[in-house]
Structure 1
Amino acid sequence: MNFKHTLREYFSYSSSEKNGLLVLVFILLVLYFLPVAFTTREGVEDSLDQKRQFQIDSVISVIENRKNNKEAKIAFTTLSYFDPNTVGKEELIGLGFTSFQISNLIKFRNKGGLFKKKTDLLKIYGIETSDLERWNLYIHIVADDKGNNENRVSKTKSYSLFPFDPNLISLKDWERLGVNSSISVRIKKYLNAGGSFKHAVDLKKIYGFDSVKIAELIPYVNIVAKVDHEIPRQNELLWLNSADTNQLKQLPGIGSVLSTRIVKYRDMLGGFVVKAQLQEVYGLSRDKYTRIATLIRVDSLSVRKIEINSIEESRLKKHPYINARMAKDIVRYRDRNGNFTSLKQLRSHKLVADSLFLKLVPYLELK
């Protein structure tokens, strides 16, 4: 009984205490809700602005990352020779084409479009002149070997590329290179007047010479260094495809070992198409090649051809540019589908990679 009484007295409040307690509770409630009640519209807007700014920063970051990735992709592209009429999607990506350019190029080909010259690439929506300049030296449009009716009609427009010295070749050779007769005549007049070509880019001196055609010819220009009149020209220049080991040893830096290797490799190839192939000979350094490059000449017309429709697999795989797997695939395809009607079939059917096709095609023929 005493406990209940004590407890009741402990929790009993006078009127003034009750009023004080209510005031205290009210003050606490006011202090609790005061920040919410006095939050301004500006504060809310600032919070929203911060969220919007965060979203904008995120978008900018994504765009910059994509741009950096694109720039990195362009920086690491590997340029190699390609034919826009046959090159595949993966190779175009490797060459630095954008997906938009690739899509438009493939649509153009699927509709029957054909690239007859390098500048035809500008027909593709999305490809600019700056793009063409970057790829120009690597574009190689291969004419169809079997020659359709259209090619027969425009036979005068067909040409072939081969190493040449612009100071020495004839008008007929210029025609074979696809140079307009008016330009070749102008070149002859320039030479007869005492002019000369010391560097490949000197072709730009000829008025009216198309810059795209010059860019196409430059990789094949092989200007023989001028010699003193006291030294006969025939004693300085050596025909690489007919020289024996003794003649090769007369070149600076070429001894018995290298001369033997050069002859052996030449026989395996079937002859040198361009003198730069000497750098493929084991042990022949770039420095040695540079020393002898102006002392040699190559007659690409003397190259021994491979009859692709009759050669046996065992002989085909002995060529330095053809391994055993490639030889097997080529012969198997020929046995199953009949003789090749065009050398381009080797590339279109993935029997030979694009990068290797351009090196190999001078050694092949259809019979």
Structure 2
Amino acid sequence: MALFSEREIRALAIFLPLAGLLILGLTLARPKADPEAARRVERTMEQRADTLRLRPFDPNTADRDELLALGLTNYEAVSLLKYRAAGKVFRIPEDVSLCYGISDSTYRRLEPYIRIGRKYAFAPREYRTGRPLPEPMAPVQFRIDTVGTRYLRAIGALSKRQAEAFVRWRDLHGIYDMEELRDCYVVSDSVAAALEPYIIFPERTPHPIEQPVNLNTADSATLRRVWGIGEKTVMRIIEYRERLGGFVRVEQLAEIPGITERNYEKILKQIYCDSCEIRKIDINFASPKELGRHPYMAPATLRKLLKARQLKGGWSTAEELIEQHIMTREEAARLAPYLVFGTQSGPDSE
């Protein structure tokens, strides 16, 4: 049985030559590559790139010449202008990509330079006036007791609400040093540090004190009445007094963070300490925790002391600690007022 009929064979005989002629014609009609033309196009693009002046622009106000200078084609520039003429407004840079004549590649190239003016950009209602916000004014020295809200806002230190709250707080409590400035809840530590070189504090009128304050027995309210001791310093004094076991000398106040040299001189005239009221530590029987809590006991010294105590059993005088190289003479001198040397039969009184 034949695969094709006589009629199908005649049709194939006619179709195949025609198909060959069509393929040959298409091959001959294909344009040949022109290397010189490609080079001319490349040179044109390079020259165009050399003339571009990429710089910040506002798509809401840029004219045709400015858009062409940015590298847009005439078609792209006209498309953007028509888009704008139709009532469209560019609120954010991404709106430029919505313009039908701007390709994605063109938008990506322009995006770093798009600047939307305050008149058109999304912003709080009170700022939609077209007026640029003023630059903060450089601060100069000012009195903290008389400075107004306008100045604090002008130098960029506080917002309007913060400045108003600050003035109310200052007039109620008074501010006489940096510690009291930081006590104000609207003043952060960073703002206080930035303002410190420019602040002039008023002189505090001291409250008359009938008699000097005993550092070892005064409570927080009594310490607060001392001229030069602020609220934070009161807590530091009480905490340090507890760790020490009491003050032996008023000069130990200088060891507390936050006591400035200026305040220290003021405070010394209003205080005293009774060294008979200090709490002592029995070095032969006190626990490692109790010994380590004392601010004069260095960690390395504590390790040597505990190791030697375990082997030797104890000491009778501070001089023995120096001879056995457990403490330096300076360490022993600082700690001696706080130590007792107890025996198995009971602690001795020093």
Structure number with bigger Rg: 2
Structure that is richer in helix per residue = 1
Q: Which has the higher contact order (CA 8 A, sep 6+)?
A: 1
Q: TM-score range, shorter-chain basis?
A: 0.3 to 0.5
TM-score by length of 2: 0.38
